[in-house]
Amino acid sequence: MPAKQNKGRLVKRRNVGAKSMANHYYTEQPDVAHDLEKWSFELKGKNFQFETDSGVFSRDTVDYGSRVLIDAFSWEELPEGAILDVGCGYGPIGLALAHASQLPVEMIDVNQRAVGLAQGNASRNGVKQVDIHQSNIYETLTQADYAAIVSNPPIRAGKKVVHEILTGAYPLLKVGGTLTIVIQKKQGAPSAEKKMAETFGNVEIVTKDKGYYILKSIKEA
């Protein structure tokens, strides 16, 4: 099987058929055979070593939307506290932000396979200030007040799930805390922007990049 070189990482090519489109990365137990793969990717100045598997989101590389979110996220003016990464997958957003900010990061995903990979990737890359565990949206959290919540939400899970992530973030944030998400315009950015404005009373388009919107709301009171 030929390989492709892309921005310094080596990724095997594979045939993508209908079965791979039904991996259901947003389910608790993806019904697809394991196919572990290791590769590297630079985020926030660190060359991360990732192990991924079938049945998780963007298994071959850190997806472009996550990269835009990582680069756009700012922690300098946050209140004291932890960051929550909702739908962490195998860990690129949460691990990159934990490494760069040195803040504690809680990382959750409904997909148990993804959670196991994220835990392994945290250990593999020496990122210690993380708490990674399974949770269906906000059902199982370790605290009730976060400095920030970030998410590359599972669009394929449907609008209802995405909007539950947006509305459920408000009561979990400290005053001055932020919700920051990445979403493509064609996959619901205008709808998400409206919902965040309704929930928080404010929303900002932090950046737009190749159709991806970074949306941020601040809990003002």
Tens of pLDDT, residue by residue over 90-114, are 999 999 999 999 999 999 999 999 9
Chain centroid, CA 141 distance in Å: 16
Of the candidates 163, 166, 169, 181, the one whose C-alpha atom is nearest the C-alpha of residue 73 is: 181
Q: Which residues contact 194 (CB under 8 A, 6 or more apart)?
A: none
- 112, 69, 67: which is closest to 90 by C-alpha? 112
Report residue 75's pLDDT band, with 50, 70 and 90 as the boundaries. Answer: very high
Task: List pLDDT tens digits, range 127-147.
Answer: 999 999 999 999 999 999 999
Domains of the chain: 63-218 (3.40.50.150)
Amino acid at site 129: Q
Give the model confidence (pLDDT) of 16-55 as tens digits.
Answer: 333 333 446 777 878 789 999 999 999 999 999 999 999 9
Task: Decide: pTM greater than 0.85.
Answer: yes
Provide φ and ψ at 83, rounded to 5°.
Answer: -100, 140
157 to each of 23, 25, 90, 100, 163, how far by Cα in Å? 12, 9, 17, 30, 11
